[in-house]
């Protein structure tokens, strides 16, 4: 459910969702700044060769909370053709064990985990992806953020 105040649409928030609507309006800041408009942390786009392992790495531009990781094969290929082998935040692993199939991190996946990890500005965030397809694929990676 989206709330609208004036002409501003507000993203759903689990904390606000548990409050009554009157409480929601009372808890919002008077002015919504640029941080409220920043909802995606892009890690970049790469053409990933067949069987190649790549790292998508960016430093967090500000303090944020990483929510869902979304991976996209721009050719609309089968998301099972790539695997995520590592997710690291400032050198700390957010993915343990074996590789995870790309379908878990697809934009339409209901199974995408909510990482809900706080990240300080300047912290390196890396997602390691392997292309298991016989052809090169242009791929992008991004986190939804708060």
DSSP bridge pairs for 126: 57, 88
| 103 backbone dihedrals φ, ψ, rounded to 5° | -65, -25
Q: How far apart are CA 36 and CA 39, in angstroms?
A: 7
Compute CA distances 51 → 20, 112, 130, whole Å: 51, 24, 7
pLDDT in tens, 28-73: 556 666 666 678 899 999 999 999 999 999 999 988 899 999 998 8
Task: Pick one of 2.40.10, 3.90.550, 3.40.50, 2.60.120 as the CATH number of 38-145.
Answer: 2.60.120
What residue ranges of the chain are covered by domains with CATH 2.60.120? 38-145
Q: How far apart are CA 20 and CA 16, in angstroms?
A: 8
Is 0.95 surpassed by the pTM of this model? no
DSSP-derived letter for residue 91 is T
């Amino acid at each position: 459910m989206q709330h609208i105040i004036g002409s501003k649409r507000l993203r759903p928030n689990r904390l606000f969702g548990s409050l009554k609507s009157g409480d929601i309006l009372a808890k919002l800041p008077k002015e919504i700044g640029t941080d409220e408009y920043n909802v995606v942390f892009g890690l970049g786009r790469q053409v990933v060769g067949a069987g190649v392992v790549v790292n998508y790495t960016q430093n967090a531009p500000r303090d944020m909370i990483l929510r869902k990781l979304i991976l996209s094969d721009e050719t609309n290929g089968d998301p099972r053709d790539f695997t995520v082998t590592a997710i690291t935040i400032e050198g700390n692993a957010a993915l343990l064990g074996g590789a995870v199939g790309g379908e878990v991190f697809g934009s339409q996946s209901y199974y995408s985990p909510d990482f809900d990890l706080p990240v300080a500005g300047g912290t390196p965030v890396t997602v390691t992806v392997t292309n298991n397809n016989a052809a090169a694929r242009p791929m992008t990676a991004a986190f939804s953020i708060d």
